[in-house]
Structure 1
Amino acid sequence: MVSTARRSSIRRNSRRRHRVTRRGWIVFSALIALIALVVAAVVYPLLRRPAIALAGLEDGATLGAAGLPAGIDLTFDRPVTTVTATLDGEALAVNIDNLTASFEIPETTDGDHQLEVIVDRGSLAPAVSLTRDFSVDTKPPVATVIEPTGPVLPVGPVAVSITVDDPDAIVEIGGEGVSASSDGVFGREFPEAPPAPVSILVSDALGNAATSEVVITLNLPGIDGGEPIRGVHASGYTWTTAELKDPIMELIAENKINTIEIDLKDEAGQVWWATSNEHANQIGAVEELWDLAAVVEELHRLGVRVIGRLVVFRDPILSDWAIGTGNLDWIVLNPDGSPYGQYGGYTNPFNEQVWEYNISIAEEAARLGVDDVLYDYVRRPDAFLDQLRFPLQGEQTPEEAILGFLEASQPRIHAAGARVGASVFGIAATHPDQIAQPIPAMSELVDYVAPMVYPSHWGPNEYGVVDPNSSPYDIVFRSLSEFQNQVAGTNATVLGWLQDFSLGVDYGPAEVRAQIEAAEDAGVVDFLLWDAATTYTEAALDPMS
């Protein structure tokens, strides 16, 4: 039998053991909970999928030429270390910076494409990927001009109309938005034929755009199937001097001429109208005597063709600037390096900055409505080559320099709406190396060559003519016949420069008429009369039918 004291002791020990056991369970449970928290804190971020944000490329999008981004930026809601990107299965280089990544999109062809981004999370968790399927369509709408279909009258309204292969296209004609008619035609009517080519802009909803120009050909002398060119030269001062201009206007009124050739830039390098060419204005080459656009409009209203004469490499003003500023590679030099002094100054046909100076002036004149740009002095100086030095020449010949200038010029002048001609020496057909004017090669780069076959400029026995100046028919017929032979097989024609001045022999109606008849008999129907004083022999010209 257990005493009361013993029983009390047993109860006290039991309670003590119970308290220890309960305390242990509490500690153990707390430890387990702590471990769970630690594990969760470490493992959960590894297991939770990171959020990927990709801006600028929507799934299922169709993108135009301007819609496809050059690069893609990614953002993540937690740091990443390994990101790969592929476009149509081809790996892209990815730049990773903690919470961001970026990569460039290469040039992409039209069609369907897939972009995939993968975030690698190591062996503890599966990778996370994002995919964008998209299409690229960079083909712009195609415009087809339906009018005008041929030359238009220089006076009166002119319609420009097109059709487009996309009925929802956005269309501008001449910088003005137009809508389609009920039959799907986009058109705009101009009160008169614009002097410059009419711009066409067509675009679609994706931003794909195409531009073109409609060159409007005026129904003037010199067009295919039209009247032959019968014209005269006018200097810058001719058009501001009544006693010179009025007789020329009378020849037009009497239907004896139908073309005026007027100086755009003359032998002195002087530009007689307000060109926007910055360099011409800086060097003092511009003296505005008349408004070129107004002159063109005045003559076009009379049905007269306007040829702008531009003297190219003979240019004293540009030469003086080059000498004064030390830009000696702009000019022809003597063998000792001093400036070549003939003609008042001769610029360098090997210098492409000289090319650009002249072409830009010609191009502007064409956009103001000039029908032809007729280059003069598009040659080297007529001196022995050992007396000349051409900076920048390298291994090229002077002939190659002249051809290079014409090749650079023709597409720009054509795009501005004008034809291109080249005045050439009469001797160029037989002695091209003396002035660097190879006629067959030049004929591939111009619309016509204009030989200056003035009888007074030939030496004795040229083309078998004992005294050319006294035999205007013979020398003009024989020389122009040779030029006809040399342009054969090209798209170029021959326009004859004929003499209407006296030099050594008095020239009157009979001598001028003899040259015109000789040209016609040689198959050259287009001609211009030259007189530096711009006074012409009316009696030598018959009214045109």
Structure 2
Amino acid sequence: MSSQHPYASPPSSRRWGAVSWWFSLLLIVPLLLIIITLIWTQFVAGTGHGGRVFDAYTGEGVDNALVQLGDRETTTSSDGTFSLRGDDTGTIVISLDGYDSAEYVLPATSEDIDPESIEIALRPTTMTGQVTNRVDESPMAGVLVEAIQDGSAVSSAETGEDGGFVLNSIPEDAEIRFSYADYAEVVEPIGERAEMSVSMRPGVISGRVLDEAGEPVRGASVAIDDVFVMTEDDGSFRLENVPEAGELIFKAPGYHALSRELDDQMEFDVTMEDKHIRAIYVTAGAVGSESKWNELLDLAERTEINAMVIDVKDSTGFVFYETEVEMAHELDVVRPQYDVREVLDDLRERGIYTIARQVIFEDPALAEARNDLAIMDSQGGLWRTFNGIAWVSAYEEEVWDYNIELMMEAVELGFDEIQLDYMRFPSDGPLDRAEYGVEEHNSESRSAAIAEYLRRSHEAIMPTKAYLGGDIFGLALWEMGDGGIGQNLEAMTPHLDYIKPMIYPSHFFPGSMGFDVPNDHPYEVIFYSLQNAAERIPDDTNKLRPWLQDFSWGEGREYGPEEVREQIDASDDFGATGWLLWSAGNNYTEGALRPADEE
């Protein structure tokens, strides 16, 4: 009989029981962790937010940007992604050195946004790069690099020995300016980039201008595009801010104009060739008349004459060639008398220097068509001279612009020089009734208006090979004011290459220069007048090129070969850079001129 208790359980294996207990525990613990995580996520931590921060220019993810939402924060991973648990509402703030901070305002309810789809762009505010020398590609140290906004620098840096730079705090839509002494400034819009490398070229041209004897030429103009400078006493010059390409123009009164193509050579020493002008005036009608034109060409062929002054616009206001200036056509003042290109080609082949004569403010055609630009009469209507001629006001800038446009067209056609005539206010007529459209009409305002018109004309013509000359009264060499017409010698001189006083002995008053009849003293009137001008503008005597009379008028001697030659000799003895003969009918005294082979 067994000794086991009848109700006792059969003996169990202790090993299997232990395994079963641990296995159960392994199943229960992970399940509890999952449950706890779900409870935390759904009821404690909220839904949370995730997204990506990227560079606004490159689109690449931004690493280590600080992401903040309320009192919670994290940083982006290497690919720019982030995950941030916290409130469903509020503003996510992203910040990182070298970038503008950015904000993302979360919607009021979580249903309005996918918590893992937030995309935030950061705009770089730091730029890096390198500056090199365009000539030899070497790095440039010490270059000033600036961020420019609204014309002012808002941040700056300087390149190191390797030419590299780091520029911080760059505002949106800024420009980057690179500056270095004697180099052309470089300005680049920032665009959508954080790296910018540029090459800089020398921006300063220097050199000397000499004459054929090797002597310095003082006061020569050196110009390219809209930059220019005048040579010093020793003929040296330094021209800054030159463009990348173009034609460098050298001009000086009494010399042929020169041009040099700009290249990497930044030093130019040039020699200028003398040019002594001996000119006659030719009307448009004479140019258009085959017989008269050939007569004048033959005169130039036989004598010392080497230049012609040709009317392109005279005191009628008419333009005598097929102009493309729109305003001339609107005014219906185009009256072609000759083929300007054909005439210029012919004269160029003959070696004749060409001067375009352009009358400015005695322009009745313009005055009649545009009363708003004209001098008006206080008693009503247009003001007129004693001869019934209407004038435009020299104060009107639209008149300036019209004439500058015609002038530049003449330059483009190929004239060697532009000569402005009647660049003044009227001198006869009921002047007390003249209304000029300004509050103050006096010596100062008149002189200032004429000088400003000349300044603009001179700056327009400066970068071309053409010279600018201006006719003035012979009395202006003696009159210290403006003579009532705005012609003040000192005020006009800086803005002209050639000053052309009309020193007609017949036009001087009795007693002038101590002569009862100045017309009887052609040599002395010319010589003394030029001497007086030289005392007033001692540094610019080379600009003086007088008009001489080849006609008889008024009391005194009849003018023939002797009288005309005396004037020429006086001009030459003074040392003027040339002379011009005036005959309204273009009838010149050949006996006063040297033969061509005696030049």
TM-score, normalised by the number of residues in structure 1? 0.68
Partner of 1:378: 423
Partner of 2:575: 523
Distance 2:32 2:568 in 1: 124
Partner of 1:389: 435
Distance 2:366 2:417 in 1: 24
Partner of 1:54: 57
Which letter does structure 1 place at the counterpart of 2:200? K
Deviations 1:435-463 (A, max 9, x none): 22111221222112111112222222222
Cα contact 1:52–1:77 (8 A) shared by 2: no
Deviations 1:80-117 (A, max 9, x none): 74345766xxxx87676774565889427774444789
Matched, 1:440 2:490: yes
Root-mean-square deviation (Å): 4.4
Partner of 1:254: 302
SS in 1 for 2:514: coil
Matching of residues 339-488 of structure 1 within 5 Å: 339-342=382-385, 344-383=389-428, 386-392=432-438, 397-431=445-479, 432-488=482-538
Cα contact 2:347–2:353 (8 A) shared by 1: yes
Deviation at 1:305, TM superposition (A): 1.0
Cα distance change of structure 1 residues 508 and 34 upon mapping to structure 2, 3 Å threshold: same
Matched, 1:535 2:578: no
Deviations 1:136-188 (A, max 9, x none): 53634659799x9999xxxxxxxxxxxxxxxxxxxxx99xxxxxxxxxxxxxx
Partner of 1:496: 546
Partner of 2:38: 34
Partner of 1:82: 93
Deviation at 1:422, TM superposition (A): 1.1
Cα contact 1:498–1:529 (8 A) shared by 2: yes
Deviation at 1:300, TM superposition (A): 1.8
Partner of 1:239: 287
Partner of 2:363: 315
Matched, 1:137 2:141: no
Unaligned runs of 5+ in 2: 10-23, 63-78, 84-90, 105-118, 127-146, 149-155, 170-192, 213-223, 226-241, 258-271
Which letter does structure 1 place at the counterpart of 2:489? I
Distance 1:504 1:57 in 2: 91
SS in 2 for 1:215: strand
Matched, 1:264 2:312: yes
Cα distance change of structure 1 residues 539 and 113 upon mapping to structure 2, 3 Å threshold: same
Cα distance change of structure 1 residues 426 and 222 upon mapping to structure 2, 3 Å threshold: farther
Which letter does structure 1 place at the counterpart of 2:571? A
Cα contact 1:95–1:101 (8 A) shared by 2: yes
Cα distance change of structure 1 residues 538 and 353 upon mapping to structure 2, 3 Å threshold: same
SS in 1 for 2:487: coil
Partner of 2:49: 45
Cα contact 2:510–2:516 (8 A) shared by 1: yes
Cα contact 2:55–2:121 (8 A) shared by 1: no
Distance 1:401 1:225 in 2: 35
Deviations 1:473-517 (A, max 9, x none): 332333233223333123652111111123236432222222212
Distance 2:96 2:515 in 1: 83
Cα contact 1:443–1:492 (8 A) shared by 2: no
Which letter does structure 2 place at the counterpart of 1:271? V
Distance 1:247 1:221 in 2: 28
Cα distance change of structure 1 residues 256 and 346 upon mapping to structure 2, 3 Å threshold: same
SS in 1 for 2:524: helix
Distance 1:280 1:58 in 2: 63
Distance 2:200 2:364 in 1: 50
Cα distance change of structure 1 residues 518 and 144 upon mapping to structure 2, 3 Å threshold: closer
Deviation at 1:334, TM superposition (A): 2.9
SS in 2 for 1:314: coil
Cα distance change of structure 1 residues 139 and 36 upon mapping to structure 2, 3 Å threshold: same
Distance 2:545 2:497 in 1: 10
Cα distance change of structure 1 residues 531 and 109 upon mapping to structure 2, 3 Å threshold: farther
Cα distance change of structure 1 residues 468 and 99 upon mapping to structure 2, 3 Å threshold: same
Cα distance change of structure 1 residues 487 and 295 upon mapping to structure 2, 3 Å threshold: farther
Cα contact 1:260–1:306 (8 A) shared by 2: yes
Deviation at 1:238, TM superposition (A): 1.8
Distance 1:104 1:391 in 2: 54
Partner of 2:88: none
Matching of residues 269-284 of structure 1 within 5 Å: 269-284=317-332
Cα distance change of structure 1 residues 101 and 341 upon mapping to structure 2, 3 Å threshold: farther
The partner residue of 2:343 within 255, 275, 295 is 295
Cα contact 1:262–1:306 (8 A) shared by 2: yes
Which letter does structure 2 place at the counterpart of 1:411? E
Q: Which gives a bigger RCO, structure 1 or 2 (Cα 8 Å, sep 6+)?
A: 1
Deviation at 1:415, TM superposition (A): 1.1
Distance 1:313 1:339 in 2: 14
Cα contact 1:428–1:435 (8 A) shared by 2: no
Partner of 2:173: none
Partner of 1:198: none
Cα distance change of structure 1 residues 138 and 267 upon mapping to structure 2, 3 Å threshold: farther
Distance 2:358 2:314 in 1: 6
Cα distance change of structure 1 residues 99 and 303 upon mapping to structure 2, 3 Å threshold: same
Partner of 1:190: none
SS in 2 for 1:415: coil
Distance 1:85 1:281 in 2: 64
Cα contact 1:233–1:262 (8 A) shared by 2: yes
Deviation at 1:76, TM superposition (A): 8.4
Cα contact 2:534–2:541 (8 A) shared by 1: no
TM-score, normalised by the number of residues in structure 2? 0.62
Distance 2:97 2:469 in 1: 56
Cα distance change of structure 1 residues 56 and 497 upon mapping to structure 2, 3 Å threshold: farther
Amino-acid identity (%) = 26
Which letter does structure 2 place at the counterpart of 1:82? V
Cα contact 1:77–1:99 (8 A) shared by 2: no
Equivalent residue pairs, number? 438
Cα distance change of structure 1 residues 333 and 78 upon mapping to structure 2, 3 Å threshold: farther
Matching of residues 321-336 of structure 1 within 5 Å: 321-323=369-371, 328=372, 330-336=373-379
Which letter does structure 1 place at the counterpart of 2:434? L
Distance 2:507 2:305 in 1: 25
Which letter does structure 2 place at the counterpart of 1:539? G
Cα distance change of structure 1 residues 510 and 335 upon mapping to structure 2, 3 Å threshold: same
Distance 1:222 1:235 in 2: 25
Distance 2:97 2:29 in 1: 55
SS in 1 for 2:462: helix
Distance 2:352 2:61 in 1: 60
